[in-house]
Amino acid sequence: MKKAGIIRCAKAEAMCPGTTCFKVGREGKVFFSETGPVEIIGFVTCGGCSGKEILPRALKMIDKGAEVIALSSCIVGNKPGGKYYPCPFLPQIKEMLEREIGDKVTIVYGTH
């Protein structure tokens, strides 16, 4: 089982306990279907708009053993059967993550 860190939207923190992110990760379902079940070793926010803390927080989770970094559905804007609006900074965040950590870990765009 791979180890994963999840990064979610800071604005979603007040209304979402992350329960479904943990469930689909543990079960290896939805956006974790390609990685299979994962052990979640970190669950942090982006640090607020413009996602300025995503890279340092991802690097910290990698240092702690994460093999997968997942951007939650509240950042990515994809939810099967539902509707989320993507972070307006997502294109820059994706480019940065691919450039800085894409060769170190698997990046998953979405959780549930």
Q: What H or E segment, with its residue span, contains residue 70?
A: strand 68-71
| Structural domains of the chain, count | 1
| pLDDT tens sequence across 49-108 | 999 899 999 999 999 999 999 999 999 987 655 566 789 999 999 999 999 999 999 999
Q: How far is CA 71 from CA 8, 21, 38, in A?
A: 6, 10, 14
Structural domain that includes position 41? 2-109
Q: In the predicted model, what is the mean pLDDT of residues 2-13?
A: 94
Q: In the predicted model, what is the mean pLDDT of residues 11-26?
A: 93
Name the phi and psi angles at 27, rounded to 5. Answer: -90, -10
**Contact indicator for 101, 62 with CB cutoff of 8 Å:** yes
Which CATH number is 57's domain given? Answer: 3.40.50
Q: What is the pLDDT of residue 85?
A: 76
| pLDDT tens sequence across 39-50 | 999 999 999 999
Q: What is the pLDDT of residue 14?
A: 85
Q: What is the pLDDT of residue 12?
A: 87
In this structure, of 1-10, 23-32, 73-82, 84-93, the range with the lowest mean pLDDT score is 73-82
